[in-house]
Structure 1
Amino acid sequence: MLWIILAYSLLIIQIITIVITEYRRPDKEAAWLVILFMIPLIGFLLYYFLSKKYTCHRILSQKEYSRRESFRADLIDRCNQRIPKNRLAETVSKNNKIYTLLQNKQTLPITACNETTVYTEAEQAFKAILESIAMAKHHIHMEFYIIRDDNLGTQFKQLLIQKVQEGVNVRLLYDGIGSRRLGKAFVKRLQQAGVEIGCFAPPLTTFFNRQLNYRNHRKIVVVDGKIGFFGGLNIGDEYLGKDPSFGYWRDTHFSMKGYAVLWIQYTFLTDWYTVKGQLLTDPTYYPIQETQGKELVQIVKSGPDETILELIFSLIVSAKKRIYIETPYFVLDPSVLLAIKTAVMSGIDVRIIIPGIPDKKLVYYCSLSYVQELLQAGVRFYCYQKGFLHAKVLISDDLACAGSTNMDLRSFCDQFEMNAVFFDGKVVNRLVEDFFTDLNVSQEIALSEFERRPSLQKMKEVFARLLSPFF
Structure 2
Amino acid sequence: MLWVLLLLLLFIFQAATILICEYKRPAKSVAWLSILFIFPIIGFIMYVFIAREYVRRKRVHVLASPYDDKREFQGATSKVGSVSQNGVDSFLAGEQRLREWLRHVPHAPITAWNRVEVLTNADVAYEAMLQEIRKAQHHIHFEFYTIRDDAIGLRFQQALLEKAKEGVIVRVTYDGIGSHSLSKAYTETMKRAGIAVQPFLKPLIAFFDKRLNYRNHRKIVVVDGLVGFVGGINIGNEYVGGDPKLGFWRDTHLMLQGDSVYDLQRTFLTDWFFVSGERLVGHSYYPSHSVQESSFVQVISSGPDVRWDAIQEMYFAGLIAAKQRIWMTTPYFIPDPGIIMALKSAAISGVDVRIILPFKADSLIVQYASRSFLQELLQVGVRFYLYRKGFIHAKVIIVDDIMATSGTANVDLRSFFSNFELNAVMFDEKVIRRLESDFEMDLKECTEVRLDEFERRSRSEKRKERIARLLSPLF
Q: Deviations over 1:228-252 (max 9, x none)?
A: 1110000000001111101000000
Partner of 1:222 in structure 2?
Answer: 222
How far off its partner does 1:401 sit?
1.0
C-alpha spacing 1:450/1:116, structure 2 compared with 1 (3 Å):
same
Partner of 1:150 in structure 2?
Answer: 150
Distance in 1 (CA, whole Å) between partners of 2:367 and 2:288 is 45
Partner of 2:466 in structure 1?
Answer: 462
Distance in 1 (CA, whole Å) between partners of 2:62 and 2:333 is 36
Q: Are 1:417 and 2:424 an aligned pair?
A: no
Q: Are 1:396 and 2:399 an aligned pair?
A: yes
Distance in 1 (CA, whole Å) between partners of 2:152 and 2:473 is 33
Single out whichever of 274-283 and 388-397 deviates more from structure 2: 274-283
C-alpha spacing 1:338/1:68, structure 2 compared with 1 (3 Å):
closer
C-alpha spacing 1:159/1:85, structure 2 compared with 1 (3 Å):
closer
How far off its partner does 1:50 sit?
1.8
The within-5 A match list for 1:3-402 is 3-54=3-54, 55=57, 57-58=59-60, 69-72=69-72, 74=74, 78-81=78-81, 83=83, 86-304=86-304, 305=306, 306-307=308-309, 308-398=311-401, 399-402=403-406
**RMSD value, Cα:** 1.9
List gaps (5 residues or longer) in structure 1: none
Distance in 1 (CA, whole Å) between partners of 2:61 and 2:25 is 27
Single out whichever of 122-131 and 90-99 deviates more from structure 2: 90-99
**What is the one-letter code of the residue matched to 1:262?**
Y
Q: 3-state DSSP class of the match of 2:69?
A: helix
List gaps (5 residues or longer) in structure 2: none
How far off its partner does 1:94 sit?
4.3
**Is residue 76–residue 109 contact of structure 1 (8 Å, CA) maintained in 2?**
no
How far off its partner does 1:51 sit?
2.1
Partner of 1:448 in structure 2?
Answer: 452
How far off its partner does 1:193 sit?
0.7
Distance in 1 (CA, whole Å) between partners of 2:80 and 2:96 is 18
Q: 3-state DSSP class of the match of 1:80?
A: coil
Residue among 428, 435, 458 paired with 1:431: 435
Q: 3-state DSSP class of the match of 2:24?
A: coil
Distance in 2 (CA, whole Å) between partners of 1:376 and 1:154 is 48
Q: Number of aligned residue pairs: give it.
A: 468
Distance in 2 (CA, whole Å) between partners of 1:215 and 1:79 is 35
Distance in 2 (CA, whole Å) between partners of 1:458 and 1:107 is 43
C-alpha spacing 1:77/1:289, structure 2 compared with 1 (3 Å):
closer
**Is residue 141–residue 268 contact of structure 2 (8 Å, CA) maintained in 1?**
yes
**Is residue 76–residue 283 contact of structure 2 (8 Å, CA) maintained in 1?**
no
**Is residue 395–residue 428 contact of structure 1 (8 Å, CA) maintained in 2?**
yes
**What is the one-letter code of the residue matched to 1:368?**
R
Residue among 412, 417, 434 paired with 1:408: 412
Q: Deviations over 1:134-166 (max 9, x none)?
A: 111111000000000000001111111111110
Percent identity, aligned pairs only?
48
TM-score, normalised to structure 2, is 0.95
Q: Deviations over 1:296-349 (max 9, x none)?
A: 111111111132211111111111110011000000101111111011001110
Distance in 1 (CA, whole Å) between partners of 2:47 and 2:398 is 36
**What is the one-letter code of the residue matched to 1:397?**
D
Q: Deviations over 1:79-99 (max 9, x none)?
A: 534726652330242432222
How far off its partner does 1:2 sit?
5.1
How far off its partner does 1:73 sit?
7.5
C-alpha spacing 1:84/1:282, structure 2 compared with 1 (3 Å):
closer
